[in-house]
Copies of this chain bind each other. A is one copy, B any other.
Amino acid sequence: MRFETSTIKDIAKALGLSTSTVSRALRDRYEISEETKKLVLAYAEKVNYRANPIARSLKERRSYSIGIIVSEIANNFFSQVINGIESIAYDRDYHVIISQSHESYKQEKLNVEHLASRSIDGLLIALSSETQDIDYLRSLYAKGLPIVFFDRVPKDFETHKVIANNFKGSFDATEHLILSGKRTIAHLTNSENLSITKERLEGYKAALVKYHIEFKPELVKYCQHGGMHSAELEQAVKELLPLNPDGIFISSDRLTTGCIMALKKTNPEVAHKIAIAGFTNSNLVELFNPSLTSVKQPAFEMGQVATELLISMIEAKRPITEFETKVLDTELVKMAKR
């Protein structure tokens, strides 16, 4: 910081030592005599010495910080993931820099590149719903930036990934709707670009198959912008209703709340007649009306696992060749009886 603070030089001068000795004492390096070390540490303590991380970064060419890209922090799923990330990162002395893509590819790329230029040591990213071209990530990765994907992951990118068991989560939710007697179950989902979209669609289909219900493509509606615009959702709802669904399975946090909102706004009379099940980590579901069955992702844990993997990559002595994709179980929270 640019406010007067004691530097290593000051300490060295005050103690009649060289800056290198002070540095060594502070960093607990090499064989340095216990005596001088104690002396230095005591003095540093006394003057409330704070190392300048900027200088250290420049010298060491790393920053002890990790970058995070999510579409929106105002989304309980992502904010919980972030809390998980922080819980590990701070323990391991990493700082965390959060950026939002707002589901825009352009913004995502800009943010990633900004982070990279700010010397982040690694990147945790959930892709935006617009993102198709991840060459910019490949190129950073090739230059040595460790990257771990979570939630929305690309295929054909060899690195660690952490996802929820999307197939099972969707299967369970859809099955739950079927077991409550629903037969015409619509599926409202995200952009086809996203991994989660495909996996969740498969789970939905599998449940239909198990109960011998025909899959009808027209019952599936995609929202390219992940429900960022209410018009997008209202349009989807408008197209879906004439097909008389008795249930809807929705595949993401933002879409779930947005869809209920759109239903209530455009067709309040049917809103209560359609059973809703959807992915959401909102901590307010209990307040919702109409109520819904929710698929909760282990968001906090996802953040923790992803961060551990990332830090292991950052601190690895030799290049990593074995990558894992961790799959975490979701939880089905059934709708409260009315």
Contacts and interface: CB of A to CB of B under 8 A. Distances in A.
Interface of A: 1-4, 50-55, 57-58, 61-63, 72-74, 76, 79-80, 82-83, 86, 95, 97-98, 100, 113-114, 116-120, 140, 143-145, 257, 260-261, 264-265, 282-284, 286-289
Going nearest first, the 4 A-B pairs with the smallest beta carbon separation are A289-B289, A3-B143, A74-B79, A2-B61
22 contacts: A1-B120, A2-B61, A3-B140, A3-B143, A3-B144, A4-B143, A50-B117, A51-B117, A52-B58, A52-B119, A53-B118, A74-B80, A74-B283, A83-B100, A95-B114, A257-B284, A257-B287, A261-B287, A282-B284, A284-B288, A287-B289, A289-B289
Chain A contact residues, majority secondary structure: mixed
Copies in the complex: 2
Given A261-B286, A287-B257, A63 B54 contact: yes
Contacts of A287: 257, 260-261, 264, 284, 287-289
A52 B61 CA distance: 11
A97 B97 contact: yes
Given A53-B118, A95-B114, A287-B287, A62 B261 contact: no
Contact of A98 (B98, B140, B286): B98
B289 A145 contact: no
Given A95-B118, A264-B286, A2 B54 contact: no
A4 B79 CA distance: 33
A284 to B, nearest CB: 6
Contacts of A73: 73-74, 79, 82, 98
A119 to B, nearest CB: 5
A116 B95 CA distance: 13
B55 A58 contact: yes
Given A61-B1, A144-B2, A287-B288, A117 B52 contact: yes
Nearest to A79: B74
